[in-house]
Structure 1
């Protein structure tokens, strides 16, 4: 990947709705080479897809929590990961080194909805040993473009 590819990625991270013509103009390429580079970035898996960034508050999802999960043992990992992937309120799940084993980012309409989700769905996950949670007060950095970290 060279500087031109990084420039293409930065433009697409900033605005995924750019047409190839607009993108080519912004990065200083003609249409065909720009299209070939974008296609190559998609085929290589660097670009995994395109999607809209939604505002959780505007959708009524005013409540966010971070849930730390420790499993009973390593035998439960695959089953736990399969089950947590099915929970719509879990918008991000990360396996961690050390303890705890996982960090889940959960969104809900409000505290009572989160409490119900916590009590009924999270505690029922396979291999659960311990959970702790903390409430998100404010998002300070969200969806920062990855190309910013490449420099």
Structure 2
């Protein structure tokens, strides 16, 4: 990955709706080489996809919680069953497996506290293998969906 690839990635992180022509102009390439580089970045998995960045509050999701999950057992079957259950709950917008205790961090959004309580009681606490759930409410989101700091790649690649 060279400077041009990093510039392509930076431009697409800033505006994923750029046409290939606009992107080529911004990074100083003609259309064909720019298109080849974008396709190569996609094929390599560097670019995982394109999507709209939505505002949860504008859609009625005004409540956000972080839920820490500790499993009873850490064996492969317990982990697989728990992770499969996580995938079935659409209000979990991010899930991360952690080293140590707790085992998972879940970012959950709902309409309000009542909807969160219902989700917690009916789905989160019923997930397989759960020993303990600990929740904390999000007061304010300070950073979200920050672009990957591509400038730090200059020295490592």
Q: Aligned to 1:150, which of 119, 144, 152?
A: 152
Please tell me whether residue 98 in structure 1 is matched to residue 100 in structure 2.
Answer: yes
State the match for 1:141 in structure 2. Answer: 143
Q: Please, which runs of 5 or more residues in structure 2 have no aligned partner?
A: none
Per-residue deviation at 1:148? 4.5
Distance 1:119-1:149 versus aligned 2 partners, 3 A rule? farther
Match of 1:21 in 2: 21
- What is the CA distance between 1:149 and its match in structure 2? 6.6
Name stretches of at least 5 consecutive residues in structure 1 with no aligned partner: none
Moved over 2 A (4+): 147-151
**CA deviation vs aligned residue, 1:45-102 (integer Å, no higher than 9, x gap):** 1101000000000000000000000000113101000110110000000000000000
Aligned residues: 151
**What TM-score comes out, normalization by structure 2 length?**
0.94
Give distance in 1, aligned partners of 2:151 and 2:131.
35
